[in-house]
Each structure stands twice: as C-alpha cells, then as structure tokens.
C-alpha cells in the first residue's frame, strides 16, 4: 500500500517538475535548459517576498508565479528568440542562462539550508495505516489540477487551441494567422510559471538549494525523453513510470539507486525508441 | 641654535623608528596559509571563519615569531567544491596545486574537506614537502593510517580534528549504550550518505552495535549526495519499529530528512553521528523547529556551547562577536586552533623549514579550545579523549527548544537527553 501511495506522490511530483519543460518544447520546439534554474529562482523569490518584504505567503506565491512567467518571457524575447530554430544554439544558450542564474545565486550567498518555505497545511493523516502529510496530498491534488487545467486550456481556450495548433504543425498554424513568436513567448511564460508552481508546491517538503535546479532539470529531461519530447500525455505517463520505478527500487533494491532509475530510463528509451513513448518528432525517421 | 634646528629631525626620526618597530610584523613577509576548502558547505565556510578569526587574533598580538622576526599570517582560500555532488576529486587536487605553486603557500591548512579528495592530495603534498594540517571534514581513518604506514613519505601531514574510528568506538557507541541504559532504546535503523566515510562509519556502527546486543534493522539505507526525499526509508524504519535512527550524512539536505521525520511522526530518536544540517545554529529555523530532539555529533568541543576548557567559551564568544553567529559545527573550533598550533610549532622550530616544523608539531602539547592537543608521533593524528585534560574531546548535543545542549561526553555535558512526545 505504501508503494501505491508514495509512488503516486512521487509520480505527481515528477509530472509537476516536467510539465513546464514539455509544454515549452511541444509548442516552440525550444528545449528550455534553464527550467531547473527557474524552479529554484521561484523558491528564492517566494522566500524573499515572505521574509524580506513581509508579504503574505499566498500573495507571495501568486506574485512569484507571475514574476517567473515574466522572467521566462523575457528570456525568450531577449535571448532565445535570436537562436530559435538552431537546436544546438538553443541548448547552449538556455543552459548557459540556467547556469548563470544558479551559480549567480550561489555567488550571492544563497547557499546553506536556511532558506525554507512553510508547508501549506501542517499535520498528517494515515491512509490504510500509512502516514501521509498534508503537503504531499496537496502535491497530488495540484498535480491533478494542473494536468486537467492544461487539457481544458488546450481544448477550450482560444490561446490554448492556438498553442496546440503550433504544437501540431507550426507552418499550418501560421497560415491560419497564429503568430508563431507570440505563441512561443506565451508558451515560455506558461512553462516558466509551471516550473515555479512545481517549486512552490514541492519546496516546502525540503529546503531551497541551488543544487535542486540541476536535479529538477535532469528529472524533467528524463520524463520528457521517456514520454516523448513535446507530448504532454507522454510526460504524465513517463512521470508515473519513473515515479513508481524509483519507489519500487528504493523499497526492493536499494535507496542509493533512486536517481539511477531516471538515468536508466533515458538510456533504455534512447536505445529502444528514441522518440519516446508518444513522441512524434522522429517517429517517421525511425521507421525509415 | 644648532640643537634647536636638529630637534625636529630627531623627533621625526624617532616617530619613524617607533612606527617601523610597531609594525615590524606587518612589514615582514607574511606566512601564507593556503586553505583548500569547500566554501559553499558548512565544513568549508565555518573552517574559513575559524581560521580567519585565529589569524586576526594572532596578527593583532604581533604575529608569529620566526627566529626573532615577527611575521603575520595571511590566508589564501580557494573553493575546492569537493563537498558538492558530482564534482570530481581532481578539482580539489588542482586547487591544492594552485595554492602551492601560484599562491606560494608556506603551509596548507583546512582541507581538502572530502575524505576521497584529502587522500588523493596526500601524494601531492608530500611531493612538495608541504606541511599540511587537516582541520575539517576528512574523517576516514585511512588518512592517518597511511601516514603511520609510510611515515617518511607522509610525515608532513597532520590532522588536528577527529576521525571516524575513535568517533565510533570512543563516542558514538558509548553514547548509544548510554541511551539504551537510560531510556531502554535498542532497535537501530541506519541511514547514511553514499560517501566513503559514511559507508565505513555506518558499517562499523552496525557491526559494533550488533555485538553489543542491539537489534540492527536490515542493511544501512544509503542515499546519494543531494537526495531530497527520505520518506520511504523513514516509513521502513517505522514499519520495522526502529527506536533510534542513526544518521551519517554531511549534506545539507539532512534538514529535509528531519522535517520529514517530524511530519511522519516516526517514533525513533534521530541520532546524527555526522549530520551537517543539524549542527548549525540555523537548523532550528531551517526546519521550523521540527528538528527538535535531534542529537548531533560535532566531532570536537567548542562547536557547541560547553565549558570543556577555559578557552572554549572564550572562543565561542569571540566567534559570535566576529561573525554574528555561534560556532556553526564540525570544523569550526579545530580550524580556529589550526593557526595557533602552527604558530606554536613555528616559534619552537624558529623557521618555516618543513622538516623543522614537522619535528616541532610532533612535540605539540597545548591546552586548546577542545582539550589537550597532542599529535600521535607516528600517525600525526590528534590524540582523542573523553576528558579535556587528557586529549581532544568530542561533543554530542541535542536540540532542545532553540538551543544546542551538550549531552555527551559526561565530563562536559550541559543537560540530559529528552525524547519527542510521540515516543513517550
């Protein structure tokens, strides 16, 4: 039972970490390697709002999500737009930005373990005899809401439909009058805010440390590669596969193989099905 | 008239002479202490602060008397990053080499901090005949064992801080037995970090405690550096009815472990044989008080408030005044004592010659912040003890309220161990 409960929690945590990354890639074909840095930055923004400016916790969270979205949009508008379409340059540029942000934070003294965010609700309950704290239940709840929101947004909202159109066929979408750059900008802002949302939900379970940025990026990439780059459904499914895989490994193999699961999943996927479970990007090439 | 004309010149000459003599220590060439430290982590930055404080105090007092010439200490710090996950040992070696060749360090002090990096640096230090005093990190017994095995080659290397073998046999095991005797707890669950000293230490504790009649529950749970979720391990501990959680981790993420321990109300007393996060004064804030009742070993006295020696609280207050924070954990008091021990040896040697300083260091006998400081003449390991009058004494404290209360060894204890309410 504890595997089921904690596997589900871990899976939703991974889904939250990865969904912003896959959203940006799915729409703009831009691999945002600054994703992990945006995750950590959001944590520090909330911490600063609460502890330095004295803003209410909930208001700080909302403001930080908006601010992270703006930062993401600015990164696209001022840096990434210039290299769009050049895959290697996109990776180098976004990774360099992420590195500069994370190491800049470390350089400015954001290190140690004193940066923490409070949990939304204190306490825990027992589900079938297994203790689960409320924050983890909130992770699952928000994970479900995010997945549902994205589905509804991309099926019933004009901007969401435009984003979906872009993801399916950028040229066709442009012929229908959808502005490719605007949509990529929106995707980057939304993806950054989703990285921020993952941060504000998950960071209260631990502390805000620079190193988390690198971990989140690796996990997000693992989920996206296994699920198929750009496939939202694939990302969620992959999050569950890796999430349960990690928990089962910890329980039956050894806890220090926890991280190996994600890396092994990348290797197996690249060998057996390079486009991932639901990736269509290279499917045709693979068949040929 | 002639005398009156010369008077101002004579006065000026006197002023210049006084000024020159007064600042003789600063006009003299400084003695460079190269400090390879992992400065983003506790065992690095607290060591830097400890050394810096000692150097400032020594220089204020006039510096080091080297064969009749007063010379100041100067510290060159370079970040080795060796406590960071994924950083290869070679980075630390490059730093040590840079300190020796570019910064022209006369002595190496502090680290490298990670055991693996310090072991790898031994040959490099020997090649350059550079006297090195380890003051933080590096708990592996292999370090001083190698010095003893190959004395001629490694005689330049000293360690002024504790090491895992004594820590386990002399401090951790006795304090666990003390807990068993007084609270009836004897079911042990071990959680360790995937690094050399923790694997070795956790393994030894498991074996020794089994021999002492404790029930050691399964194999130690090993976590990679940087792990942020310990919930499955904690649930396993609860299912197996663990009563003491032995934690051996130097990564800051251990504060997450303690938060999760509290949230899941695991009925086992957390005992950090090495637990970097819980050592620091900021731990209370970092865990929002959820880390209360955690026991933490800070390896040497002076890293938490106690009256081990008359110098202990003097150092404690000086550190607090200088850095606006209490001594933060393992490596602070030892790094503070490093420059004092080196000063004492240089003054007795009368020169900076490596062989002369080694001979003087071997004869060190000083009552420092954490007890009597003497090196084993063969292995160059500081001699430990449970009595500060006999040797370097350790410290295990418990978080009680917002305070770090020393509970072991009994000679320097400031309070008694308390159990969390959900264990009563």
Q: Which residues pair with B193 in a beta bridge?
A: B223
Q: Are A247 and B232 in contact (CB under 8 A)?
A: yes
Q: Determine the residue of chain B that is closest to A206 in CA distance.
A: B256
DSSP strand pairing (B31-37 vs B132-134): unpaired
Nearest CA in chain B to A207: B256
Q: What does the longest C-alpha to C-alpha distance in chain A come to?
A: 59
* A18-22, A111-115, B158-162: range with highest mean pLDDT: B158-162
What's A112's DSSP letter?
Answer: S
Pair B198, B274: CB distance under 8 Å = yes
End-to-end CA separation in angstroms for chain A: 45
Its ipTM equals 0.70
Which of A114, A119, A206 has the CB atom closest to B228's CB atom?
Answer: A206
Comparing CA positions, the residue from B49, B110, B112 lying closest to residue B80 is B112
Residues pairing with B33 in the sheet:
B75, B107
> Would you say A250 and B224 are in contact if contact means Cβ atoms under 8 Å apart?
no
- Cβ-in-10-Å burial (0-12, 13-18, 19+) of A220 comes to buried
pLDDT tens profile B349-406: 999 999 999 999 999 999 999 999 999 999 999 999 999 999 999 999 999 988 999 9
Question: Does residue A256 belong to the interface with chain B, where contact is any CB pair within 8 Å?
Answer: yes
Residue A71 pLDDT greater than 80, yes or no: yes
Mutation to test the B interface, candidates A108, A113, A128, A253, most B Cβ within 10 Å = A113
Q: CA-nearest residue of chain B to A107? A: B40
Return the residue of A nearest to B257 by Cα.
Answer: A206
The answer to whether B232 contacts A251, with C-beta atoms less than 8 Å apart, is: yes
Q: Which two tokens stand for residue B267?
A: 């009925």
Bridge partners (DSSP) of residue A210 are: none
In angstroms, what separates the C-alpha of B230 from chain A's closest C-alpha?
Answer: 9
The answer to whether A254 faces chain B, any CB pair under 8 Å, is: yes
Q: What's the angle, vertex CA B248, arms to CA B242 and CA B254, rounded to 5?
A: 90
**Distance of alpha carbon B413 from the chain centroid:** 19
pLDDT at residue B24 in the model: 47
> What is the dihedral angle through the alpha carbons of A151, A156, A160, A165, rounded to the nearest 10 degrees?
100
- Contact (CB, 8 A) for A132 and B274: no
Give me the residues of chain B with pLDDT under 50, please.
1, 20, 22-25
Q: Does A207 touch chain B if contact means CB atoms closer than 8 Å?
A: yes
SS3 at position A77: helix
Residues forming beta bridges with residue B158, ordered by sequence position: B133
For A112, the closest of B221, B264, B282 (CB atoms) is B282
Q: Tell me how far apart the 2 most distant CA atoms of chain B are, in Å.
A: 101
Pairing of strands B396-400, B403-408: antiparallel
Residue B384 parent element (H or E): strand B384-385
**Whole-number average pLDDT of chain B:** 88
CB B269 within 8 Å of CB B295: yes
Q: State whether A113 and B252 contact (CB < 8 Å).
A: yes
Query: Which residues are bridge partners to B408 per DSSP?
Result: B396
Cβ B233 vs Cβ B193: under 8 Å = no
Tell me which residue in A113, A135, A254 faces B222 most closely, judged by beta carbons. A254
In chain A, positions 140-199, which contact chain B (CB-CB < 8 Å)? none
CA distance A8 to chain B (A): 13
Could you tell me if A124 and A133 are in contact, meaning their C-beta atoms sit under 8 angstroms apart?
yes
Residues 1-30 of A with CB under 8 A from B: 2, 6, 10
Contact residues, chain A, for B255 at CB < 8 Å: 113, 116, 206-207
**Chain A CA closest to residue B258:** A206
> Chain B residues with CB-CB distance to A under 8 A?
40-42, 84-85, 194, 221-224, 226-229, 231-233, 235-236, 238, 252-253, 255-256, 259-260, 263-265, 277, 280, 282-283, 285-288
Is B13 exposed, middle or buried (CB count within 10 Å of its CB: 0-12, 13-18, 19+)?
A: exposed
Those residues with Cβ within 8 angstroms of residue B208's Cβ, 6 or more apart along the chain or in another chain: B168, B169, B173
> What is residue B14's predicted lDDT score, i.e. its pLDDT?
60
What residue in B sits closest to A117 (Cα-Cα)? B286
A119-128, A175-184, B95-104, B217-226: which has the highest mean pLDDT? B95-104
Contacts of B282 in chain A (CB under 8 A): 112-114
Calpha distance B256→B254 (Å, rounded): 5
Q: In this structure, are residues A38 and A72 in contact, taking their beta carbons and an 8 Å threshold?
A: yes
Residue A263 CB contacts under 8 Å (≥ 6 apart), including other chains: A218, A222
Q: What percent of chain A has pLDDT over 90?
A: 31
| Residue A47 pLDDT greater than 80, yes or no | yes
When CB atoms are compared, the residue of B238, B265, B282 closest to A114 is: B282
pTM, entire model = 0.73
Cβ contact B282–A113 (<8 Å): yes
Contacts of B41 in chain A (CB under 8 A): 111
Q: Report how far residue A35's alpha carbon sits from residue A216's, in angstroms, rounded to the nearest whole number.
A: 8
**Non-local CB neighbours of A77 within 8 Å, separated by 6+ positions:** A185
Yes or no, beta carbons of B226 and A211 under 8 Å apart? yes
Tell me which residue in A113, A124, A133 faces B255 most closely, judged by beta carbons: A113
Chain B hits for A137, Cβ within 8 Å: none
| B180 Cα to chain A: minimum distance (Å) | 27
Q: How far is B63 from chain A (nearest CA, A)?
A: 31
Chain A nearest-CA residue for B226? A211
Contact A116 B194 (CB under 8 A): no
At B13 the pLDDT is 61
Cα Rg, chain B, nearest whole Å: 23
Which of A206, A213, A214, A243 to substitute to test the interface with B, most B CBs within 10 Å? A206
Given a cut of 70, whether residue A281 has pLDDT beyond it is no
- Please indicate whether, in this complex, the C-beta atoms of A256 and B194 are within 8 angstroms of each other: yes
Taking the C-alpha atoms of residue A14 and residue A219, their distance in angstroms, rounded to an integer, is 7
Hey, is the C-beta of A130 within 8 angstroms of any chain B C-beta? yes
pLDDT confidence of residue B275: 83
The pLDDT confidence band at residue A13, using thresholds 50, 70 and 90, is very high
Q: Which two tokens stand for residue A265?
A: 């999943």
Compute the radius of gyration of chain A from its Cα atoms: 19
Name the residue among B222, B232, B265 with its Cβ closest to that of A131.
B265
How large is the average pLDDT for residues A277-287?
61
B211: Cβ contacts below 8 Å, ≥ 6 apart: none
Q: What is the count of residue pairs from A and B with beta carbons less than 8 Å apart?
A: 92
For B265, the token pair is 């109300």
Query: What is the nearest CA distance from A288 to chain B, expressed in angstroms?
Result: 39
In this predicted structure, what is the pLDDT of residue B106?
95
pLDDT above 80 (res A35)? yes
CB of A55 closer than 8 Å to CB of A261: no
Q: What is the pLDDT of residues B300-350, one digit of tens each?
A: 898 888 988 999 999 999 999 999 999 988 899 999 999 999 999 999 999
Two tokens, residue B407: 């509970």
To the nearest whole Å, the CA of A114 is away from the closest chain B CA by 5
Residue contact B235–A130, C-beta within 8 A? yes
- In whole angstroms, give the CA distance from residue A204 to residue A43: 9
- Prior bond to B112 cis, omega within 30? yes
What is the least distance, in Å, from the CA of A19 to any CA of chain B?
20
Query: HSE on the CB side for A220, CA within 13 Å?
Result: 32
> Comparing B28 with A53, which gets the higher pLDDT?
A53
Q: Are residues B304 and B294 in contact, defined by beta-carbon separation less than 8 angstroms?
A: no
Nearest residue in A to B221, CA atom: A255
Q: Which residues contact A51 (CB under 8 A, 6 or more apart)?
A: none
Cα A109 from chain centroid (whole Å): 25
Per-residue confidence (pLDDT) for residue A85, from 0 to 100:
79
What distances in angstroms separate CA A186 from CA A97, A182, B233, B380, one per listed residue? 19, 6, 41, 63
Asked whether the beta carbons of B99 and B132 are under 8 A apart, the reply is no
Whether A124 has its CB under 8 Å from any CB of chain B: the answer is yes
- Rounded distance between C-alpha atoms, residue B404 and residue B397, angstroms: 6
Distance of CA B39 to the CA centre of its chain: 14
Render the burial of B177-199: b for 16+ CB within 10 Å, e for the rest.
ebbbeeeebbebbbbbbbbbbbb
Length of chain B: 424
CA B113/CA B103 separation, integer angstroms: 19
């Amino acid at each position: 039972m504890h595997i089921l409960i904690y596997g589900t929690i871990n899976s939703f945590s991974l889904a939250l970490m990865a969904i912003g990354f896959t959203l940006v890639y799915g729409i703009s074909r831009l691999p945002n390697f600054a994703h992990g840095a945006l995750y950590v930055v959001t944590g520090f923004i909330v911490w600063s709002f609460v502890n330095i400016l004295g803003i209410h916790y909930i208001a700080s969270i909302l403001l930080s999500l908006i601010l992270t979205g703006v930062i993401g949009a600015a990164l696209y508008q001022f840096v990434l737009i210039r290299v769009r379409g050049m895959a290697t340059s996109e990776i180098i540029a976004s990774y360099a930005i992420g590195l500069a942000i994370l190491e800049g934070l470390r350089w400015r003294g954001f290190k140690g373990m004193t940066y923490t965010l409070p949990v939304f609700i204190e306490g825990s309950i027992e589900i079938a005899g297994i203790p689960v704290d409320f924050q983890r239940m909130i992770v699952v709840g928000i994970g479900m809401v995010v997945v549902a929101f994205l589905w509804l947004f991309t099926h019933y909202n004009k901007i969401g439909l435009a984003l979906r159109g872009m993801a399916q066929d950028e040229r066709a979408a442009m012929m229908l009058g959808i502005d490719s750059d605007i949509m990529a900008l929106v995707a980057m802002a939304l993806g950054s805010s989703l990285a921020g949302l993952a941060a504000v939900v998950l960071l209260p379970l631990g502390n805000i440390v620079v190193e988390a940025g690198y971990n989140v990026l690796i996990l997000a990439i693992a989920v996206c590669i296994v699920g198929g780059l750009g496939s939202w459904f694939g990302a969620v499914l992959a999050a569950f596969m890796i999430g349960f895989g990690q928990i089962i490994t910890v329980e039956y193999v050894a806890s220090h193989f926890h991280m190996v699961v994600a890396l092994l999943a990348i290797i197996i996927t690249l060998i057996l099905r390079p486009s991932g479970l639901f990736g269509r990007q290279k499917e045709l090439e693979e068949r040929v | 008239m002639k005398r009156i004309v010369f008077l101002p010149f004579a006065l000026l000459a006197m002023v210049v002479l006084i000024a020159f003599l007064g600042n003789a220590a600063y006009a003299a060439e400084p003695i460079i202490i190269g400090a390879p430290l992992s400065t983003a982590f506790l065992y690095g930055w607290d060591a830097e602060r400890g050394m810096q404080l000692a150097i400032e105090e020594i220089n204020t007092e006039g510096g080091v008397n080297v064969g009749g010439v007063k010379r100041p200490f100067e510290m060159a710090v370079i970040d080795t990053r060796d406590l960071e996950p994924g950083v290869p040992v070679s980075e630390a070696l490059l730093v040590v080499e840079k300190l020796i060749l570019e910064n022209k360090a006369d002595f190496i002090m502090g680290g490298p901090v990670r055991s693996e990096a310090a072991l790898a640096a031994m040959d490099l230090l020997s090649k350059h005949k550079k006297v090195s005093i380890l003051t933080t990190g590096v708990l592996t017994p292999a370090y001083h064992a190698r010095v003893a095995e190959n004395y001629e080659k490694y005689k330049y290397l000293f360690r002024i801080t504790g090491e895992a073998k004594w820590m386990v046999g002399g401090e951790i095991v006795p304090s666990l037995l003390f807990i068993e005797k007084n609270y009836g707890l004897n079911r042990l669950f071990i959680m360790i970090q995937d690094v050399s000293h923790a694997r070795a230490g956790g393994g030894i504790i498991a074996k020794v405690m089994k021999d002492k009649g404790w029930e050691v529950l399964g194999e130690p749970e090993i976590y990679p550096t940087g792990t942020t979720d310990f919930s499955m391990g904690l649930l396993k501990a609860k299912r197996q009815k663990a009563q003491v959680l032995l934690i051996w981790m130097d990564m800051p993420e251990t504060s997450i472990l303690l938060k999760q321990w509290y949230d899941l109300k695991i009925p086992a007393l957390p005992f950090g044989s090495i637990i970097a996060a819980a050592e620091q004064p900021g731990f209370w804030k970092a865990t929002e008080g959820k880390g209360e009742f955690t026991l933490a070993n800070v390896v040497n006295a002076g890293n938490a408030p106690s009256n081990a020696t008359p110098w202990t609280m003097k150092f404690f207050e000086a550190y607090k005044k200088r850095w606006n924070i209490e001594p933060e954990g393992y490596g602070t008091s030892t790094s503070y004592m490093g420059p004092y021990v080196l000063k004492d040896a240089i003054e007795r040697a009368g020169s900076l010659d490596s062989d002369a300083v080694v001979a003087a260091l071997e004869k060190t006998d000083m009552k420092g912040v954490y007890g009597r400081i003497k090196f084993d003449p063969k292995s160059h390991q500081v001699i430990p003890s449970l009595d500060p009058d006999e040797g370097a004494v350790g410290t295990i404290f418990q978080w009680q309220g917002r305070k770090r209360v020393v509970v072991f060894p009994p000679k320097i204890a400031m309070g008694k161990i308390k159990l969390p309410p959900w264990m009563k």
